[in-house]
Structure 1
């Protein structure tokens, strides 16, 4: 899992003018292999239903991760959905407990400070990758940490052997810099979720990442 490549965070509040499911379907068609479903405003039942529908679109084509809600992930998996894992943050349950709860599955963890990355290194056996940011300020996550910039991302990525995915107002234009910094991928919200043509936007991200090798 050293190269996660172009990674979509399908944030339900950001998907316009298309629906979240339309965006996910288009992103997968555009070549994206990692999709994180983020639903901050929906109820557990709504999130669960969305996860089931999203899994039908990603199954066999992309990894589908559930943001924060371990209960939703477990319910979706119990219902037979092809959900791959979870992505959690610093305010969620500790990764050791998350691993105990989900067993087999992917766990991504958001990390920003050297202290958070040091703790992640100590817990590396429970974690598959880190989401490192915010590279730049972003309106899609109002509680994001102080922006790191690309140089700051490079420094943080150098502190861990875990794959580090850059997130926070990054675009296809940043692919080469993120790769040079040792990044394992770039995660986006608005460049795909709010694109007029999410499939074309996804293909552009994939092409930029692959072209930056």
Structure 2
């Protein structure tokens, strides 16, 4: 039987809590130690979780471990996906790539840049929209800054169409969709329209970095 409290990385075993055979109790301090180590493996030796991000990481961690009390406290529904918003370079993509590793017993999602999806549409057309409307879980990275799709001279708001498909999938089969964005709610509505925006409210929990969060790439 898998013990979700123990995770091995590069020959080192990390404990992120205690498991009694039935229930798991997580330890946030231990999770931080593990995430710093895993982040260095994924993103290089200079990766470091900054103290200023602990509060948002606390919210995200509670979502991923499905802690009912703390999710309720932060108005997060663990059955919906995440829309993680914040300024350029604040760490949205890194966190979404990283956090799925604290729950290795759950089916992982694939992080996919929205611009790559649009480039795929430009080459092969509407099959791309079908491909992303399947039962795989995705995190659409950098939602809202992708170009308009164009195939055989016809324009298409590719990510808008995909979000409508993902909404149907969520209603039918409770399959989650996650996304990261630099845009606010008003900008997303202007880009995708009110129809898509209302579906996004059902699809996502909005979790936002502070608007003044610094660019960690600098």
Q: TM-score, normalised by structure 1?
A: 0.30
Larger Rg: 2
